[in-house]
Amino acid sequence: MRVFTVFPLLVLPVLIYNVIAWSGSAFTSVDAVRERMDKDFLSVTMASDTTWDITPGHALIAFSLLMLFFELLKSTGTGRGAIINHAFSMVLFIVCLVEFLMFPAFATSVFFLVMMMTLLDVMAGFIVTIISARRDFGVSDGGFD
């Protein structure tokens, strides 16, 4: 269970996107990735007899949001595992940022949103850690308590 607290869950959607982006060739074009992300792979009939078409991009964003939810729950911890998780989350965000800026296959809105979720995870983790550290040390606005 220790791996669960240290392992940033948002690495899963990033890995899935990497598999989709690099599955064609070593340097896949952004158009090829967009085509893979926008192809319907699941259709759900709604109560209104309308069909809801789900693409891999939609599913990846939904999965990323679910992982972000669990990451935010994990960010409330202040132990050693939580600090290591925050560091790994920062590394994951940097990797995502480099991929987004340097590789054409990652210049899509889907990957941008996944990357922003990794940034939110980093920010939430550090904010929660700072607030809880201030509380643990008894620091108030006027100085030490």
Domain region containing 61: 8-130
* 49 is a domain residue: yes
pLDDT, tens only, 4-23 = 678 899 999 999 999 988 87
Whether the pTM exceeds 0.85: the reply is no
pLDDT of residue 79: 74
Whether 23 is covered by a domain: the verdict is yes
Determine the average pLDDT of the residues in 33-56.
Answer: 91
Cα distance between residue 52 and residue 67, in whole Å: 23
Q: What pLDDT is recorded for position 23?
A: 79
- Residues with Cβ within 8 Å of 53's Cβ and at least 6 positions away in sequence, in order, are 40, 42, 43
Q: Residue 13 has what pLDDT?
A: 97
Domain count within the chain? 1
Residue 124 lies in a domain: yes
Helix then strand then coil, % of the chain, to nearest 5:
70, 10, 25
Task: Please check whether residue 138 lies inside any domain of the structure.
Answer: no
